[in-house]
Structure 1
Amino acid sequence: MRFKRSALTAAALGALTVGATTVLAAPASAAPNTTPQKVCGSAYKTVNSVPVGSLGTTYLTYNSSTGQNCVVTIRSNPGIAVNMSAWLYVPDTGEAAEDHGRYTSYAGPAYVYGKGHCVDWGGHINNVYVQVNNSNCATAKENRLTFTR
Protein backbone atom coordinates (compact mmCIF):
# COMPACT_ATOMS: atom_id res chain seq x y z
CA MET A 1 0.00 0.00 0.00
CA ARG A 2 2.85 2.36 0.83
CA PHE A 3 4.31 1.82 -2.67
CA LYS A 4 0.97 2.60 -4.35
CA ARG A 5 0.59 5.82 -2.36
CA SER A 6 4.14 6.95 -3.23
CA ALA A 7 3.63 6.05 -6.90
CA LEU A 8 0.32 7.95 -6.99
CA THR A 9 1.87 10.96 -5.24
CA ALA A 10 4.79 10.96 -7.68
CA ALA A 11 2.42 10.70 -10.64
CA ALA A 12 0.26 13.54 -9.31
CA LEU A 13 3.30 15.76 -8.71
CA GLY A 14 4.57 14.94 -12.19
CA ALA A 15 1.25 15.93 -13.74
CA LEU A 16 1.19 19.17 -11.75
CA THR A 17 4.75 19.96 -12.82
CA VAL A 18 3.92 19.37 -16.48
CA GLY A 19 0.76 21.48 -16.15
CA ALA A 20 2.60 24.31 -14.40
CA THR A 21 5.36 24.23 -16.98
CA THR A 22 2.78 24.40 -19.77
CA VAL A 23 1.00 27.33 -18.13
CA LEU A 24 4.25 29.18 -17.48
CA ALA A 25 5.49 28.54 -21.02
CA ALA A 26 2.36 30.02 -22.62
CA PRO A 27 2.76 33.59 -23.88
CA ALA A 28 1.19 36.38 -21.85
CA SER A 29 -1.00 37.29 -24.81
CA ALA A 30 -1.92 35.53 -27.99
CA ALA A 31 -0.17 36.75 -31.11
CA PRO A 32 -2.37 38.42 -33.70
CA ASN A 33 -3.42 36.08 -36.46
CA THR A 34 -2.66 38.57 -39.23
CA THR A 35 -0.28 41.31 -40.39
CA PRO A 36 -0.80 44.61 -42.20
CA GLN A 37 0.61 43.02 -45.36
CA LYS A 38 -1.84 40.10 -45.17
CA VAL A 39 -4.71 42.57 -44.92
CA CYS A 40 -3.57 45.36 -47.30
CA GLY A 41 -1.47 43.29 -49.71
CA SER A 42 2.11 42.10 -49.92
CA ALA A 43 3.23 45.18 -51.91
CA TYR A 44 2.26 47.47 -49.00
CA LYS A 45 5.07 48.39 -46.61
CA THR A 46 4.38 49.61 -43.06
CA VAL A 47 5.37 53.29 -42.87
CA ASN A 48 3.82 54.22 -39.52
CA SER A 49 1.92 52.72 -36.61
CA VAL A 50 0.27 53.76 -33.36
CA PRO A 51 -0.72 51.58 -30.39
CA VAL A 52 -4.42 51.44 -29.52
CA GLY A 53 -3.75 51.36 -25.79
CA SER A 54 -2.89 47.75 -24.94
CA LEU A 55 -5.63 46.39 -27.21
CA GLY A 56 -3.79 46.43 -30.54
CA THR A 57 -2.17 48.64 -33.17
CA THR A 58 -3.31 50.73 -36.12
CA TYR A 59 -0.90 50.55 -39.07
CA LEU A 60 -0.42 52.92 -42.01
CA THR A 61 1.04 51.19 -45.06
CA TYR A 62 2.06 52.44 -48.50
CA ASN A 63 2.42 50.88 -51.95
CA SER A 64 5.11 52.88 -53.78
CA SER A 65 4.17 51.50 -57.20
CA THR A 66 0.54 52.66 -56.99
CA GLY A 67 0.78 55.60 -54.57
CA GLN A 68 -1.98 54.04 -52.44
CA ASN A 69 -2.04 54.17 -48.65
CA CYS A 70 -3.81 51.49 -46.65
CA VAL A 71 -4.76 51.51 -42.97
CA VAL A 72 -5.70 48.57 -40.76
CA THR A 73 -6.32 48.14 -37.02
CA ILE A 74 -5.19 44.77 -35.63
CA ARG A 75 -6.08 43.43 -32.19
CA SER A 76 -3.33 42.07 -29.92
CA ASN A 77 -5.65 39.31 -28.72
CA PRO A 78 -8.19 38.18 -31.31
CA GLY A 79 -11.38 36.83 -29.80
CA ILE A 80 -15.04 37.67 -29.64
CA ALA A 81 -16.22 40.40 -31.99
CA VAL A 82 -15.79 43.94 -30.64
CA ASN A 83 -16.32 47.42 -32.11
CA MET A 84 -13.33 48.39 -34.25
CA SER A 85 -12.40 50.82 -37.00
CA ALA A 86 -9.66 51.90 -39.39
CA TRP A 87 -9.85 55.17 -41.35
CA LEU A 88 -7.73 57.32 -43.64
CA TYR A 89 -8.14 60.89 -44.95
CA VAL A 90 -6.09 63.04 -47.35
CA PRO A 91 -6.84 66.71 -46.49
CA ASP A 92 -5.39 68.06 -49.78
CA THR A 93 -7.74 65.99 -51.95
CA GLY A 94 -10.63 65.31 -49.58
CA GLU A 95 -10.37 61.59 -50.35
CA ALA A 96 -11.32 59.36 -47.42
CA ALA A 97 -11.93 55.70 -46.67
CA GLU A 98 -12.97 53.82 -43.57
CA ASP A 99 -14.02 50.45 -42.26
CA HIS A 100 -15.92 50.03 -39.01
CA GLY A 101 -17.94 47.29 -37.43
CA ARG A 102 -17.70 44.39 -35.00
CA TYR A 103 -14.64 42.26 -35.73
CA THR A 104 -12.76 39.39 -34.10
CA SER A 105 -9.24 40.26 -35.32
CA TYR A 106 -8.91 43.39 -37.46
CA ALA A 107 -10.69 46.34 -39.09
CA GLY A 108 -9.76 47.39 -42.59
CA PRO A 109 -8.37 47.58 -45.09
CA ALA A 110 -9.19 51.15 -46.08
CA TYR A 111 -7.37 52.58 -49.12
CA VAL A 112 -6.76 56.09 -50.50
CA TYR A 113 -4.33 57.58 -52.99
CA GLY A 114 -1.77 59.55 -51.00
CA LYS A 115 1.40 59.99 -53.07
CA GLY A 116 2.95 63.36 -52.25
CA HIS A 117 0.28 64.22 -49.67
CA CYS A 118 0.05 64.36 -45.90
CA VAL A 119 -2.47 61.90 -44.49
CA ASP A 120 -4.61 61.74 -41.37
CA TRP A 121 -5.46 58.25 -40.16
CA GLY A 122 -6.52 56.26 -37.12
CA GLY A 123 -8.76 53.63 -35.68
CA HIS A 124 -10.28 52.25 -32.53
CA ILE A 125 -10.82 49.07 -30.54
CA ASN A 126 -13.69 49.03 -28.03
CA ASN A 127 -13.56 52.47 -26.40
CA VAL A 128 -9.89 53.34 -27.15
CA TYR A 129 -9.41 55.67 -30.13
CA VAL A 130 -6.23 56.79 -31.88
CA GLN A 131 -5.76 59.55 -34.44
CA VAL A 132 -2.61 60.68 -36.27
CA ASN A 133 -2.76 64.00 -38.15
CA ASN A 134 -0.22 65.45 -40.63
CA SER A 135 1.39 62.06 -41.02
CA ASN A 136 4.22 61.16 -43.35
CA CYS A 137 4.87 64.60 -44.76
CA ALA A 138 7.80 66.94 -44.43
CA THR A 139 5.78 70.17 -44.28
CA ALA A 140 3.95 69.64 -41.00
CA LYS A 141 4.65 68.12 -37.62
CA GLU A 142 2.79 64.89 -36.92
CA ASN A 143 0.20 65.07 -34.13
CA ARG A 144 -0.92 61.91 -32.29
CA LEU A 145 -4.00 61.62 -30.09
CA THR A 146 -5.22 58.71 -27.96
CA PHE A 147 -8.49 58.99 -26.10
CA THR A 148 -11.28 56.89 -24.62
CA ARG A 149 -15.03 57.33 -24.96
Structure 2
Amino acid sequence: MRYARSVLSAAALAALTVGTTAALTAPASAAPNTTPQKVCGSSYKTVNSAAVGSLGTVYLTYNATNGKNCVVTIRSNPGTAMDMSSWIGVPDTGEYDEDYGRYTSYAGPTYVYGKGYCVDWGGHINNVHVQVTGSNCGSLKEHRVTFTR
Protein backbone atom coordinates (compact mmCIF):
# COMPACT_ATOMS: atom_id res chain seq x y z
CA MET A 1 0.00 0.00 0.00
CA ARG A 2 2.81 2.39 0.90
CA TYR A 3 4.52 1.70 -2.47
CA ALA A 4 1.28 2.38 -4.41
CA ARG A 5 0.81 5.70 -2.58
CA SER A 6 4.42 6.74 -3.42
CA VAL A 7 3.91 5.94 -7.10
CA LEU A 8 0.65 7.91 -7.15
CA SER A 9 2.29 10.85 -5.34
CA ALA A 10 5.18 10.85 -7.82
CA ALA A 11 2.75 10.75 -10.76
CA ALA A 12 0.71 13.63 -9.32
CA LEU A 13 3.86 15.68 -8.76
CA ALA A 14 5.01 15.03 -12.34
CA ALA A 15 1.62 16.09 -13.72
CA LEU A 16 1.67 19.26 -11.61
CA THR A 17 5.18 20.10 -12.80
CA VAL A 18 4.21 19.66 -16.47
CA GLY A 19 1.08 21.78 -15.96
CA THR A 20 3.02 24.55 -14.24
CA THR A 21 5.67 24.57 -16.95
CA ALA A 22 3.00 24.79 -19.65
CA ALA A 23 1.29 27.67 -17.83
CA LEU A 24 4.55 29.59 -17.47
CA THR A 25 5.41 29.25 -21.15
CA ALA A 26 2.29 30.91 -22.57
CA PRO A 27 2.60 32.22 -26.11
CA ALA A 28 4.15 35.67 -26.49
CA SER A 29 1.13 36.90 -28.45
CA ALA A 30 -0.85 37.10 -25.21
CA ALA A 31 0.72 40.50 -24.45
CA PRO A 32 2.01 43.48 -26.41
CA ASN A 33 5.42 42.86 -27.94
CA THR A 34 6.56 46.49 -27.87
CA THR A 35 6.45 49.72 -25.87
CA PRO A 36 6.04 53.37 -26.84
CA GLN A 37 9.74 53.93 -26.12
CA LYS A 38 10.78 51.10 -28.46
CA VAL A 39 8.70 52.65 -31.25
CA CYS A 40 9.21 56.41 -30.67
CA GLY A 41 12.70 56.34 -29.16
CA SER A 42 14.18 55.81 -25.71
CA SER A 43 14.25 59.55 -24.93
CA TYR A 44 10.46 59.83 -25.34
CA LYS A 45 8.53 59.65 -22.07
CA THR A 46 4.85 58.65 -21.94
CA VAL A 47 2.79 61.69 -20.91
CA ASN A 48 -0.72 60.49 -21.73
CA SER A 49 -2.61 57.46 -23.01
CA ALA A 50 -6.09 56.38 -24.04
CA ALA A 51 -7.58 52.90 -24.20
CA VAL A 52 -8.85 51.72 -27.58
CA GLY A 53 -11.64 49.66 -26.08
CA SER A 54 -10.12 46.33 -25.07
CA LEU A 55 -8.04 46.13 -28.26
CA GLY A 56 -5.06 48.24 -27.19
CA THR A 57 -3.84 51.70 -26.20
CA VAL A 58 -2.83 54.92 -27.93
CA TYR A 59 0.20 56.55 -26.25
CA LEU A 60 1.27 60.19 -26.38
CA THR A 61 4.96 60.64 -25.61
CA TYR A 62 7.21 63.71 -25.35
CA ASN A 63 10.94 64.32 -25.80
CA ALA A 64 11.99 67.32 -23.68
CA THR A 65 15.32 67.60 -25.53
CA ASN A 66 13.88 68.26 -29.00
CA GLY A 67 10.33 69.41 -28.07
CA LYS A 68 8.67 66.73 -30.17
CA ASN A 69 5.64 64.61 -29.36
CA CYS A 70 5.18 61.09 -30.69
CA VAL A 71 2.03 58.96 -30.88
CA VAL A 72 1.86 55.20 -31.28
CA THR A 73 -1.11 52.81 -31.13
CA ILE A 74 -0.21 49.41 -29.66
CA ARG A 75 -2.44 46.33 -29.73
CA SER A 76 -3.03 44.36 -26.52
CA ASN A 77 -2.79 41.07 -28.41
CA PRO A 78 -0.67 41.20 -31.57
CA GLY A 79 -1.79 38.85 -34.30
CA THR A 80 -3.40 38.93 -37.71
CA ALA A 81 -3.02 42.27 -39.49
CA MET A 82 -5.95 44.66 -39.08
CA ASP A 83 -6.68 48.31 -39.83
CA MET A 84 -4.86 50.58 -37.36
CA SER A 85 -3.77 54.20 -37.13
CA SER A 86 -2.03 56.77 -35.01
CA TRP A 87 -2.12 60.53 -35.59
CA ILE A 88 -1.11 63.80 -33.97
CA GLY A 89 -1.64 67.46 -34.77
CA VAL A 90 -0.90 70.92 -33.41
CA PRO A 91 -3.89 73.16 -34.23
CA ASP A 92 -1.94 76.40 -33.62
CA THR A 93 0.77 75.57 -36.19
CA GLY A 94 -1.09 73.27 -38.56
CA GLU A 95 1.59 70.59 -38.20
CA TYR A 96 0.12 67.09 -38.55
CA ASP A 97 1.39 63.54 -38.96
CA GLU A 98 -0.43 60.24 -39.33
CA ASP A 99 0.17 56.56 -39.99
CA TYR A 100 -2.63 54.36 -41.30
CA GLY A 101 -2.45 50.78 -42.53
CA ARG A 102 -2.91 47.12 -41.73
CA TYR A 103 -0.59 46.11 -38.90
CA THR A 104 -0.03 43.11 -36.64
CA SER A 105 1.27 44.93 -33.55
CA TYR A 106 1.36 48.74 -33.70
CA ALA A 107 0.71 51.83 -35.85
CA GLY A 108 3.12 54.75 -35.80
CA PRO A 109 5.26 56.43 -34.86
CA THR A 110 3.88 59.86 -35.75
CA TYR A 111 5.77 63.01 -34.75
CA VAL A 112 5.15 66.78 -34.43
CA TYR A 113 6.93 69.64 -32.72
CA GLY A 114 4.67 70.38 -29.75
CA LYS A 115 6.67 72.36 -27.18
CA GLY A 116 4.42 75.05 -25.71
CA TYR A 117 1.35 73.96 -27.72
CA CYS A 118 -1.81 71.96 -27.15
CA VAL A 119 -1.90 68.78 -29.20
CA ASP A 120 -4.72 66.73 -30.69
CA TRP A 121 -3.98 63.02 -31.04
CA GLY A 122 -5.52 59.59 -31.35
CA GLY A 123 -5.69 56.36 -33.24
CA HIS A 124 -7.79 53.34 -33.98
CA ILE A 125 -7.73 49.56 -34.03
CA ASN A 126 -10.24 47.74 -36.23
CA ASN A 127 -13.45 49.76 -35.82
CA VAL A 128 -12.73 51.41 -32.43
CA HIS A 129 -11.47 55.00 -32.72
CA VAL A 130 -10.10 57.32 -30.03
CA GLN A 131 -9.45 61.05 -30.35
CA VAL A 132 -8.14 63.43 -27.70
CA THR A 133 -8.24 67.17 -28.35
CA GLY A 134 -6.75 70.10 -26.45
CA SER A 135 -4.31 67.81 -24.67
CA ASN A 136 -1.24 68.41 -22.53
CA CYS A 137 -1.30 72.19 -22.50
CA GLY A 138 -1.79 73.26 -18.91
CA SER A 139 -5.06 74.95 -17.98
CA LEU A 140 -7.14 73.81 -20.96
CA LYS A 141 -9.16 70.68 -20.19
CA GLU A 142 -8.72 67.98 -22.81
CA HIS A 143 -11.69 66.36 -24.54
CA ARG A 144 -11.76 62.56 -25.18
CA VAL A 145 -14.02 60.68 -27.55
CA THR A 146 -14.14 56.93 -28.23
CA PHE A 147 -16.44 55.63 -30.95
CA THR A 148 -16.97 52.66 -33.25
CA ARG A 149 -17.64 52.71 -36.97
- TM, length-normalised to structure 1: 0.84
Q: Deviations over 1:36-91 (max 9, x none)?
A: 00000000000000000000000000000000000000000000100000000100
For 1:76-134, what per-residue CA distance to the aligned partner results, in whole angstroms no more than 9, with x for missing partners?
00001000000001001000000000000000000000000000000000000000011
Consecutive unaligned residues in structure 1, runs of 5 or more: 1-6
Alpha-carbon distance in structure 2 between the residues aligned to 1:83 and 1:75: 11
Partner SS, residue 78 of structure 1:
coil
For 2:47, the equivalent position in structure 1 comes to: 47
The letter of the residue matching 2:72 is V
Q: CA RMSD in A?
A: 2.4
Distance in 1 (alpha carbons) for counterparts of 2:148 and 2:132? 15
State the match for 1:114 in structure 2. Answer: 114
Runs (4+) of structure 1 exceeding 2 A deviation are 12-27
Partner of 1:4: none
Distance 1:113 1:19 in 2: 53
Aligned-residue sequence identity (percent) comes to 71
1:99 equivalenced with 2:105 (yes/no): no
**Partner of 1:133 in structure 2?**
133
